Chains A and B, each alone.
Chain A
Amino acid sequence: MTVAHTASNSGEPSGQRTASLTVENVTVTYPNGNTALRDASFNLGPGTICALVGVNGSGKSTLFKAIMGFLTPQAGSVRIAGLPARDALKKNLVAYVPQSEDVDWNFPVLVEDVVMMGRYGHMGFLRHPSTTDHEKVTDALTRVGMTDYRNRQIGELSGGQKKRVFLARALAQEGRIILLDEPFTGVDVKTESAIVGLMRELRDAGHLMLVSTHNLGSVPDFCDQVVLMDKTVLAAGPTEETFTQANLELTFGGVLRHFRLEGSALHDDEDTRGVTVLTDDERPVVFYGHQQNETAPVRPKSDTDNSNDQDGEK
C-alpha cells in the first residue's frame, strides 16, 4: 500500500499550514456487520485537490463519514489538522458537500436557509445569524452564481444548481478542509468546469479538498493527488505516479469499459503506440502505449497548456 506524503505546492501561504488530513488504518463496520472499509490509510497536506476514485460501493461515502466522525471507526484513527476529528469539527475546520442521494430534496428549506446552515458553527447558543453571517451567505451564493435562486425551495432546482447550493454552504462555513462526495454526478459540463474553477481557487488559497468522482478523465486535469479505493485504500499519492493504467485496472477490476486501438489503426507513421481508453461511466481516461509506465494519462483537450504536446511526447 502506498502512503504518500504531499509535497505541498511551493508558494503556499504561510499560516495556512493547518489544512492536513491523516487517515491511519481506518476500519469501519456498519451495525449490520458489513465491513465497508478496512485498514485505509493516506495522508494529505494543504493546497491539495485529491480525487477519491473507486466503483460504487467501494466505501467512498463511508470514508467521508468516518473522517467527519459521523461513523466511528472500529480501528485506526483520523486526524484533521493534527487534531482528533471531534476537536477539528468543533473548530469548524471541515466542510462537507453530501452526495445527492443523501439529501432530502422535499425538505422545506430555501436555498439561502441551506447556505445559512454553513454558518451554524459560528453562531451562538440560539443560532441567531449576525450581519456577518448574512453577508457570508450572500458572498457564497454569489461565488457559485446562485443569488437569483436564493428563495427557491431546494427541490425546485436542476442537478447542477443543487450541487452549487451545497458547495455554497461549504464556502459559507469557511472550512479549511472540504469533503465533496460526487459533486459532478448528474451535472453538465459547464457546471462541472465552474465547480472545478472554484476548487482551483480554493486550492490556491491553501484549502485541502477530497473529492470522490467517477469522471476519470478529468482527474489528471485538476487533481494533484489520488486515492484509489476498493473497500480499502489500494493506492494513494501524486496523480502522475498513482493514477496509472495498472492501478486503475486494479481498482475497477472488470467493471471498467476498456477500449484498445493499436497504433497502426490510428495513424500512418512510426509511432507504434496504441491507445487505451478506460471509462467508468462518465469521462473516459486515455492512455498512450501498452504499459502504464510508458506515459502519464493524457489530459483532456480543454486544458489549454496541454492541447499540443501529445505529438511532442517521446
Chain B
Amino acid sequence: MNELLVPFAYEYMVKAMWVSALVGAVCAFLSAYLMLKGWSLMGDALAHAIVPGVSGAYLLGLPYAAGAFIAGLLASAGMFFIRQQSRLREDAIIGLVFTTFFAAGLLMVSLNPTSVNVQTIILGNILGISDSDAWQVIIISVISLAILIVKWKDLMLVFFDEAYAQTVGLNPTWLKILFFTLLSACTVAALQTVGACLVIALVVTPGATAYLLTDRFERLLMISVAFGTITSFVGAYLSYFVDGATGGVIVTLQTILFLVAFLFAPKHGLYASRRQARLVTADGGEPVALKEPTV
C-alpha cells in the first residue's frame, strides 16, 4: 500500500501531477468545441506550428511561452486568412500551414543545435519541468480556464449557429479569435506535459468520449473536463512507476476510457445501438423518435 503513495513523497512528482491535471482540464474544455466543428486537427497543426516559436524564443533569450504563443497565433491567423480568401478545404489548409511552420522550426533547430532540445518539445518533459516553466503553464491554464468558464455559453452559440449568434448581439468574429487565442495558449501549455506529437490527443479524446455519453453540451463540457483532469493526473502518477513518458501514459489512459465509452455508452455506444436495432426489427415498428406528433 505504501508503495502506491511513493510518488506523493517527491516534490517533482506532485508538481507534475497537478500541472498535468490543470493542462488536461483546459485542453479537455477546448476539445469539446473543436470536435463539433471538425476542427480537431487544428490542435495538432498548432502544436507543430509552435516549434519555430519555441526555438526562436530560446535563441533570443525570451520566455519560451511568448515565442510559442506568437507562432501559434500566426499559424491560426494564417489558416483563417487562407480559409477566407481561397476555396481550399480545411484539411488542405491545416496541412499546408502546419508543415510550413514545423519545417521552419526544424530548420531553426538544426541551424542552432544547442539552442533547444527538440526531444523536449516533441515528447514533453513534465517530470523535469523547471519551476519557471511550471509557473508559465499554470498562469496560462488558469487564465484560459477562467475565460472559458465565463464565455462558454457565448462560444457554444457561435459554434452552433454563427448567424444567430449575431442576431442576439454577439460578435462571432471576436469570439472565434478569442477561442483560437486560447487554443494557441493551451497548446503551448500542453507541449510541456505531453509534447507536440500528443497534444492532439488532449484536444480530441476527452471531447470525443464525452460526446458519446451525453446529448447536452453543458454536460458534455463537464464530463470532458472531469475526464481530462483525472486521466492527466492519474497518468502523471502512473508514469512514476513506468519510468518517464508521461505523455504516453496519459494518452493511453484516455484511449482506454474512450474505447470503454465507445462500446458501452448507454445511448450512443456500440452495444446500445445494436440492442436498439434488434428491438426495432423485433417490433417491426419505427423507432419512437421518428413518429410525427399531432400539431
Residues of A within 8 A of B (CB): 31-32, 64-65, 68-70, 89-90, 92, 94-96, 98, 102-104, 107-110, 113, 117-118, 120-121, 125-127, 145-146, 148-149, 152-153, 156-158, 160-161, 169, 173, 175, 188, 190-191, 194
Chain B hits for A156, CB < 8 A: 289
- Cα A120 to Cα B150 in complex, Å, equals 14
**In the complex where A107-B36, A120-B153 touch, is A70 in contact with B169 (Cβ < 8 A)?**
no
Q: Are A102 and B160 in contact (CB under 8 A)?
A: no
- Cα A149 to Cα B294 in complex, Å, equals 12
Stretch at the interface among B211-219, B230-238, B273-281: B211-219
Contact of A103 among B36, B161, B294, B295 (CB under 8 A): B161
- Cα A153 to Cα B220 in complex, Å, equals 13
Contact of A68 among B167, B293, B295 (CB under 8 A): B167
Chain A hits for B159, CB < 8 A: 107
Q: Are A117 and B168 in contact (CB under 8 A)?
A: yes
B89 within 8 A of A: no
B292 within 8 A of A: yes
- Cα A118 to Cα B217 in complex, Å, equals 16
Q: Are A161 and B215 in contact (CB under 8 A)?
A: no
- Cα A164 to Cα B290 in complex, Å, equals 15
Chain B hits for A96, CB < 8 A: 163-164, 167
Would you mind naming 24 contact pairs between A and B with Cβ atoms under 8 Å apart? A68-B166, A70-B163, A92-B168, A92-B169, A95-B167, A98-B164, A104-B36, A107-B160, A107-B217, A108-B36, A108-B215, A109-B215, A109-B217, A120-B153, A120-B157, A120-B170, A126-B150, A145-B294, A157-B289, A160-B292, A161-B293, A169-B164, A190-B295, A194-B295
Most buried by A among B84, B166, B214, B294: B166
Chain A hits for B166, CB < 8 A: 68-70, 89
Contact of A158 among B85, B163, B292 (CB under 8 A): B292
Chain B, residues 260-295, CB within 8 Å of chain A (1/0): the string is 000000000000000000000000000001101111
Number of B interface residues at 8 Å Cβ cutoff, please give it: 33
Q: Are B292 and A188 in contact (CB under 8 A)?
A: yes
**In the complex where A96-B163, A117-B157 touch, is A110 in contact with B215 (Cβ < 8 A)?**
yes
Min Cβ gap A186→B in Å is 13
Q: Are B220 and A108 in contact (CB under 8 A)?
A: yes
Q: Are A121 and B169 in contact (CB under 8 A)?
A: yes
Q: Are B289 and A98 in contact (CB under 8 A)?
A: no
Contact of B169 among A89, A107, A125 (CB under 8 A): A89
B162 within 8 A of A: yes
Interface residues of B in 116-175 (CB under 8 A from A): 150, 153-154, 157, 159-164, 166-170, 172
Chain B, residues 161-194, CB within 8 Å of chain A (1/0): the string is 1111011111010000000000000000000000
Q: Are A117 and B164 in contact (CB under 8 A)?
A: yes
Min Cβ gap A143→B in Å is 11
Min Cβ gap A133→B in Å is 12
- Cα A148 to Cα B162 in complex, Å, equals 28
Residues of B within 8 A of A (CB): 36, 84-87, 150, 153-154, 157, 159-164, 166-170, 172, 211, 214-217, 220, 289-290, 292-295
- Cα A126 to Cα B159 in complex, Å, equals 17
The 5 A-B residue pairs with the shortest CB-CB distance, nearest first, are A121-B168, A153-B215, A127-B153, A156-B289, A194-B295
Most buried by A among B160, B289, B295: B295
Contact of A113 among B85, B217, B294, B295 (CB under 8 A): B217
Chain B hits for A110, CB < 8 A: 215-216
Chain A hits for B85, CB < 8 A: 31-32
- Cα A110 to Cα B164 in complex, Å, equals 17
**In the complex where A149-B293, A152-B289 touch, is A104 in contact with B160 (Cβ < 8 A)?**
yes
Min Cβ gap B46→A in Å is 23
What residue in chain B is nearest A175 (Cβ atoms)?
B167
* A-B contact sample (16 more), CB < 8 A, given A69-B166, A145-B293: A70-B163, A70-B166, A70-B172, A98-B161, A104-B160, A108-B211, A109-B217, A110-B216, A113-B217, A118-B168, A126-B153, A145-B294, A158-B290, A161-B293, A173-B167, A188-B292
What residue in chain A is nearest B166 (Cβ atoms)?
A70
- Cα A136 to Cα B106 in complex, Å, equals 57
Q: Are A109 and B169 in contact (CB under 8 A)?
A: no
- Cα A153 to Cα B216 in complex, Å, equals 8
Chain A hits for B153, CB < 8 A: 120, 126-127
Most buried by A among B36, B84, B214, B289: B289
What residue in chain B is nearest A86 (Cβ atoms)?
B169
**In the complex where A145-B293, A190-B295 touch, is A117 in contact with B161 (Cβ < 8 A)?**
yes
Min Cβ gap A236→B in Å is 23
Q: Are A109 and B216 in contact (CB under 8 A)?
A: yes
Q: Are B154 and A127 in contact (CB under 8 A)?
A: yes
